[in-house]
Chain A
Amino acid sequence: MTQRLVVIGNGMAGARTVEEILARNGDFTITMFGDEPYGNYNRIMLSNLLAGVEDEAGIYLNDLSWYADNGITLNAGVRIERIDRFAKVVYATDGTATPYDKLIIATGSSSWTPPIKNIHNPKRGFHQGVFAFRTLDDTRGMIRYARDHERAVVIGGGLLGLEAARGLQNHLSDVTLLHAMGHLMERQLDEKAGHMLQASVENKLGIKVITNAMTTEILGKDRVTGVKLADGTVIPCDVVVIAAGIRPNTQVAADSGLTVERGIVVDDQMRVQDEDDIYSVGECAQHRGNLYGLVAPLWDQAKVLADHITGRDVEAAYTGSKLSTKLKVAGIDVASMGLIAPESDDDEVIIYSEPKKGVYKQLIIRDGALAGAILVGDNSKAAGLIQSFDRAQALPEERAEMLFDIGGPTGEVKPEDMPDDAQVCNCNGVSKGAICGVVNAGCKTVSGVMDSTRAGKGCGTCKPLVQRIVEWAAGGEAEEDPAASWYVPGVPMPKPELMAAIRKYELKSVSSVFEKLVPGGEHDAKSKMGLASLLKMMWADRYVDERDARFINDRVHGNIQKDGTFSVVPQMKGGVTTPAELKRIAEVAEKYNVPMVKLTGGQRIDLLGIPKEQLPAMWADLDMPSGYAYAKSFRTVKTCVGSDFCRFGVGDSTALGIAIEERYQGLEGPGKMKLAVTGCPRNCAEAYVKDLGVVAIDGGKWEIYVGGAAGAHIRKGDLLCTLDSAEEVIRMTGRFLQYYRENANWLERTYSFVPRIGIERIREIVVEDTDGIADALDAAVDEAVQSYKDPWKERAVPATPGQFRTSLPLTVLPQVPVRS
């Protein structure tokens, strides 16, 4: 039966919870009460509204039509006074009584007013010229009043106070910030960072800051003329804004007999203590002793509440949130998360300080995980740190990498400093303005924005910048995208779960995966290639190969070019060839009028500009195996000449490179695998920057480096192990590649995969075999090696009708007679 759901409070938590309930098809008739006479707007954006970078229309999250469209009765501007929890009725100030079956209290907080003489006016609340900063009405009033005045004082030097001070500068010329504590943002920053921030706020923004400032009195008879501090200082001003903290709105709950301590006490299902039918969510709720004053925890609470109240998952539990904050003041970077000071001698503290530039960075690491971080003056690493902090990810051995971009391009640009037409994605030509446009149109996930603009879908190096722009444009409102953890966008599962399900149901073809594992059985073009690669890896010979699951490159075994022609790169193991082979290539190039013959970076020869229909004949004339220069697979093994010829060589790099390529040729994977073997540490074959690089060292030994890259991203590989023989290197190579194939995300190259897992962990698994899976990895890669077939053999009998038929009029197509 449809139940009556009443929600008190139409703010960010209340409305979000209702959205989550609707998303779960909850069967309720919903009535909402909100003290404010509006739909639900984004309170966070009030800072931007004050600063003039956002207008009122732009901050609504749910406008009035949303309520109507979803059949919700909204009583905007109606306050609830009392709950009768026995009769299950709520009473409003307008005299109405509304019965409920389930009740949600989401009354949020109000701004707290410190005891200051003359701050109130008995008739009109505040003294004329004094404002709180909490609601749209507060903000409107403040803007209207500030426009006609000169000098403002903001009381409170936390996040809110700083944002208020910065915003007021948009309306008047003189702003002073008073803070009762010794340094700014004392809850998020340590003393050093607080002072550094103060210097930036004063010098860069021109806001005067006074710390240890106890405001005792508001001066002025009918309107504000100044404030007085405890030490007698008088600061003349016309506007006073109070941003001294918030207090949860718990009065109604307390008056109605619910358990209220600092907030309304709730359990892990967000139910009010001892109540079966009353929930509370948002800033007014006290969970496990904690009150939250940021939105991120509210989103998590809303999901759990919705899961529970709709019966979707009655076991769902909210267990608390880890907090991270960023200051939303243009030009002043501040981010903070977790601890701001070490708590024991075992806590590792890393500090970088550059006072002249106003840059301060501190990390606190406990048990190998990030327990806290402070960034002032440089937020370029904030996104990554927040992520490691939230998910307790393994940290890089080189701690400095967490604070700086090492080896990467320097001088990270800030979204706010970029002009709208600045090109962000250099591969697909997407501007900052285009990205912001999509965000403003309501798409607030990074992957959603990437899908609709194609930004970040080329070489991928701009992804962090795209992410920063999305976060900035969304004003801290960027949404975590559940799909970000999925292996492919069209199947809602991360890789380990997906593999388990594929094994459980023995799904051997791409279409069977869609039909079994996607609700509704919807196929997804953009997921096919990743699934094909995964299934081939898992089932080797038993994989049921549906050709349409392949990308065109893999259907015709060449790399598609800009004009629809293809490139032909024959295999040339280790970059070693023979005069006979070269002659054959030369003859083929002449015979087919190949437009360009070029040496590749992978030490082989590329014949470019070949029409699809010529491919089979050309492969036959070449009579060489495919070099796999088009697939997400094992590519080449570059080698140097090594000990056979080189004066410095200490190992036969050429022979080993050829042997490795011989064994692992064509092995598919989640990303390209480019290898090299070099004959001594002079590294002529560039082995340090390969997915897997082998370096001969004196004494007949070989070092293996993994996770290197020298493409758009440059990274030196991590030393995995040192081995005594070429045979061991070949085996270890296969074991590492197999571990990568089984565990990397789709298109995740080793340069991200290795740091994500951590080189120590990889070493434990593949070298030391602490998990006991080394034999299984060896066996799996051996099965894959056995199932290798040279794809260019498909020239004799095409795999599908018209496999090599032209798709564009590069040559005149056979004309079909037109029936009149």
Chain B
Amino acid sequence: MTIAPISETVLGPVDEIPFGEGRTYAVGPDMIAVFRLRDGSLRAVSAVCPHKGGPLADGQIDNRVVVCPLHLYAWDLATGCSQSGQPPISVYPVRVDDGHIILGD
């Protein structure tokens, strides 16, 4: 598991992300995919699929994993670990505060 350190950043209103979907944000040099689970909580991971560069924010999710839309490999949203032997993705701390997406801590 790789938890990337990142300083606190407000990404925008949480309503920008529909339940169960993801959106990509550029934070400094990093591209970060933020997902809003159906239970309302958020997960943030690196946006680029380590397999062949697929856009993870376009993937389907459940409360545990994101499935890349290109070749359907899956990664754990909490740990960043691949379930199928791929390199891990970075995970970032993220939370909702007063209707805003707060990345980092």
Interface mask (A14-46 → B, CB under 8 Å = 1, otherwise 0): 000000000000000000000000000000000
Contact in complex: A454, B73 (CB < 8 Å): yes
Chain B residue contacts of A815, Cβ below 8 A: 26
- Contact residue range for chain B? 35 or more
Chain B residue contacts of A562, Cβ below 8 A: 52, 70
Chain B residue contacts of A548, Cβ below 8 A: 18-21, 38, 60-61
> Which residue from chain B places its CB closest to the CB of A548 in the assembled complex?
B20
List of 7 A-B pairs having minimum Cβ-Cβ separation, nearest first: A548-B20, A807-B55, A523-B62, A807-B57, A813-B26, A552-B58, A525-B62
Contact in complex: A547, B70 (CB < 8 Å): no
Contact in complex: B26, A809 (CB < 8 Å): yes
B66 at the A interface (CB under 8 A): yes
B45 at the A interface (CB under 8 A): no
Contact in complex: A802, B17 (CB < 8 Å): yes
Contact in complex: A816, B84 (CB < 8 Å): no
How far does the alpha carbon of A552 sit from the alpha carbon of B69 in the complex, in Å?
A: 7
8 A-B residue pairs with CB within 8 Å: A526-B60, A555-B21, A805-B23, A806-B24, A807-B47, A807-B55, A808-B53, A818-B7
How far does the alpha carbon of A807 sit from the alpha carbon of B59 in the complex, in Å?
A: 10
Contact in complex: A451, B60 (CB < 8 Å): no
Contact in complex: A801, B57 (CB < 8 Å): no
Chain A residue contacts of B19, Cβ below 8 A: 546, 548
Contact in complex: A818, B58 (CB < 8 Å): no
A5 at the B interface (CB under 8 A): no
Contact in complex: B23, A807 (CB < 8 Å): yes
Interface mask (A239-265 → B, CB under 8 Å = 1, otherwise 0): 000000000000000000000000000
State how many angstroms separate the Cβ of B92 from the closest Cβ of chain A: 13
Contact in complex: B69, A551 (CB < 8 Å): yes
> Which residue from chain A places its CB closest to the CB of B33 in the assembled complex?
A807
How far does the alpha carbon of A563 sit from the alpha carbon of B72 in the complex, in Å?
A: 15
Contact in complex: A453, B84 (CB < 8 Å): yes
Contact in complex: B70, A525 (CB < 8 Å): no
- Contact residue range for chain A? 35 or more
How far does the alpha carbon of A812 sit from the alpha carbon of B24 in the complex, in Å?
A: 12
A549 at the B interface (CB under 8 A): yes
State how many angstroms separate the Cβ of A429 from the closest Cβ of chain B: 10
Chain A residue contacts of B67, Cβ below 8 A: 525-526
Instruction: Kindly identify which residue among B11, B15, B22, B47 contacts A801, using a CB–CB cutoff of 8 Å.
Output: B15
Contact in complex: A819, B70 (CB < 8 Å): no
B105 at the A interface (CB under 8 A): no
With A454-B72, A522-B63, A526-B74 already in contact, the answer to whether A546 and B84 are too (CB < 8 A) is: no
How far does the alpha carbon of A820 sit from the alpha carbon of B104 in the complex, in Å?
A: 11
Contact in complex: A523, B63 (CB < 8 Å): yes
A564 at the B interface (CB under 8 A): yes
How far does the alpha carbon of A117 sit from the alpha carbon of B73 in the complex, in Å?
A: 64
A735 at the B interface (CB under 8 A): no
Interface mask (B28-72 → A, CB under 8 Å = 1, otherwise 0): 100101000010000000011000111111111111111101111
Instruction: Kindly identify which residue among A452, A800, A801 contacts B84, using a CB–CB cutoff of 8 Å.
Output: A452
Chain A residue contacts of B12, Cβ below 8 A: 816
Chain B residue contacts of A808, Cβ below 8 A: 24, 31, 47-48, 53, 55
Contact in complex: A452, B83 (CB < 8 Å): yes
State how many angstroms separate the Cβ of B75 from the closest Cβ of chain A: 11
The residues of A with any CB-CB pair to B shorter than 8 Å are: 428, 451-454, 457, 490, 511, 522-526, 528-529, 546-549, 551-553, 555, 560, 562-564, 800-802, 805-809, 812-816, 818-820
Contact in complex: B38, A511 (CB < 8 Å): yes
How far does the alpha carbon of A81 sit from the alpha carbon of B22 in the complex, in Å?
A: 66
> Which residue from chain A places its CB closest to the CB of B35 in the assembled complex?
A548
With A807-B33, A813-B25 already in contact, the answer to whether A524 and B62 are too (CB < 8 A) is: yes
B99 at the A interface (CB under 8 A): no
Chain B residue contacts of A526, Cβ below 8 A: 60, 67, 72, 74
> Which residue from chain B places its CB closest to the CB of A451 in the assembled complex?
B84
Chain B residue contacts of A453, Cβ below 8 A: 84-85
State how many angstroms separate the Cβ of B51 from the closest Cβ of chain A: 10
> Which residue from chain A places its CB closest to the CB of B48 in the assembled complex?
A808
B27 at the A interface (CB under 8 A): yes
How far does the alpha carbon of A511 sit from the alpha carbon of B94 in the complex, in Å?
A: 24
How far does the alpha carbon of A809 sit from the alpha carbon of B26 in the complex, in Å?
A: 8
Contact in complex: A802, B7 (CB < 8 Å): no
State how many angstroms separate the Cβ of B38 from the closest Cβ of chain A: 6
Chain B residue contacts of A553, Cβ below 8 A: 69
Beyond contacts A525-B61, A548-B61: 15 other A-B pairs, Cβ-Cβ < 8 A, are A451-B84, A511-B20, A525-B65, A525-B66, A528-B62, A549-B20, A562-B52, A564-B54, A802-B17, A807-B55, A808-B53, A812-B26, A816-B10, A818-B28, A819-B10
Contact in complex: B9, A547 (CB < 8 Å): no
The residues of B with any CB-CB pair to A shorter than 8 Å are: 7-12, 15-28, 31, 33, 38, 47-48, 52-67, 69-74, 83-85
Instruction: Kindly identify which residue among B9, B61, B66 contacts A818, using a CB–CB cutoff of 8 Å.
Output: B9
State how many angstroms separate the Cβ of A808 from the closest Cβ of chain B: 4
Contact in complex: B17, A454 (CB < 8 Å): no
How far does the alpha carbon of A525 sit from the alpha carbon of B59 in the complex, in Å?
A: 9
Instruction: Kindly identify which residue among B9, B58, B70 contacts A816, using a CB–CB cutoff of 8 Å.
Output: B9
State how many angstroms separate the Cβ of A435 from the closest Cβ of chain B: 12
How far does the alpha carbon of A511 sit from the alpha carbon of B23 in the complex, in Å?
A: 20
How far does the alpha carbon of A525 sit from the alpha carbon of B23 in the complex, in Å?
A: 17
Contact in complex: B72, A564 (CB < 8 Å): no
With A522-B62, A525-B60, A560-B58 already in contact, the answer to whether A454 and B84 are too (CB < 8 A) is: yes
Chain B residue contacts of A522, Cβ below 8 A: 62-63
Chain B residue contacts of A451, Cβ below 8 A: 83-84
State how many angstroms separate the Cβ of A5 from the closest Cβ of chain B: 35
Contact in complex: A454, B23 (CB < 8 Å): no
Contact in complex: A809, B31 (CB < 8 Å): yes
> Which residue from chain A places its CB closest to the CB of B69 in the assembled complex?
A552
State how many angstroms separate the Cβ of B39 from the closest Cβ of chain A: 9
Chain B residue contacts of A457, Cβ below 8 A: 72
How far does the alpha carbon of A808 sit from the alpha carbon of B24 in the complex, in Å?
A: 7
State how many angstroms separate the Cβ of B17 from the closest Cβ of chain A: 7
How far does the alpha carbon of A623 sit from the alpha carbon of B39 in the complex, in Å?
A: 39
State how many angstroms separate the Cβ of A43 from the closest Cβ of chain B: 31
How far does the alpha carbon of A490 sit from the alpha carbon of B54 in the complex, in Å?
A: 24
Chain B residue contacts of A802, Cβ below 8 A: 16-18, 23
Contact in complex: B25, A547 (CB < 8 Å): no
State how many angstroms separate the Cβ of A460 from the closest Cβ of chain B: 13
How far does the alpha carbon of A820 sit from the alpha carbon of B28 in the complex, in Å?
A: 12
State how many angstroms separate the Cβ of A56 from the closest Cβ of chain B: 27
Chain A residue contacts of B22, Cβ below 8 A: 807
Chain B residue contacts of A511, Cβ below 8 A: 20, 38
Contact in complex: B21, A807 (CB < 8 Å): no
> Which residue from chain B places its CB closest to the CB of A564 in the assembled complex?
B55
How far does the alpha carbon of A227 sit from the alpha carbon of B31 in the complex, in Å?
A: 78
How far does the alpha carbon of A451 sit from the alpha carbon of B72 in the complex, in Å?
A: 10
How far does the alpha carbon of A632 sit from the alpha carbon of B90 in the complex, in Å?
A: 32
> Which residue from chain B places its CB closest to the CB of A820 in the assembled complex?
B7
Contact in complex: A819, B55 (CB < 8 Å): no
Contact in complex: B60, A528 (CB < 8 Å): yes
How far does the alpha carbon of A524 sit from the alpha carbon of B69 in the complex, in Å?
A: 15
How far does the alpha carbon of A813 sit from the alpha carbon of B30 in the complex, in Å?
A: 11
State how many angstroms separate the Cβ of A414 from the closest Cβ of chain B: 26
How far does the alpha carbon of A564 sit from the alpha carbon of B70 in the complex, in Å?
A: 8
> Which residue from chain A places its CB closest to the CB of B66 in the assembled complex?
A525
State how many angstroms separate the Cβ of A815 from the closest Cβ of chain B: 6
State how many angstroms separate the Cβ of A712 from the closest Cβ of chain B: 17
How far does the alpha carbon of A340 sit from the alpha carbon of B78 in the complex, in Å?
A: 56
State how many angstroms separate the Cβ of B34 from the closest Cβ of chain A: 11
Contact in complex: A552, B7 (CB < 8 Å): no
State how many angstroms separate the Cβ of B23 from the closest Cβ of chain A: 5
State how many angstroms separate the Cβ of A227 from the closest Cβ of chain B: 52
Contact in complex: B38, A523 (CB < 8 Å): yes
State how many angstroms separate the Cβ of A794 from the closest Cβ of chain B: 14
> Which residue from chain A places its CB closest to the CB of B55 in the assembled complex?
A807
How far does the alpha carbon of A451 sit from the alpha carbon of B70 in the complex, in Å?
A: 15
Instruction: Kindly identify which residue among A452, A560, A800, A813 contacts B21, using a CB–CB cutoff of 8 Å.
Output: A800
How far does the alpha carbon of A486 sit from the alpha carbon of B11 in the complex, in Å?
A: 41
> Which residue from chain A places its CB closest to the CB of B54 in the assembled complex?
A564
Chain A residue contacts of B84, Cβ below 8 A: 451-454
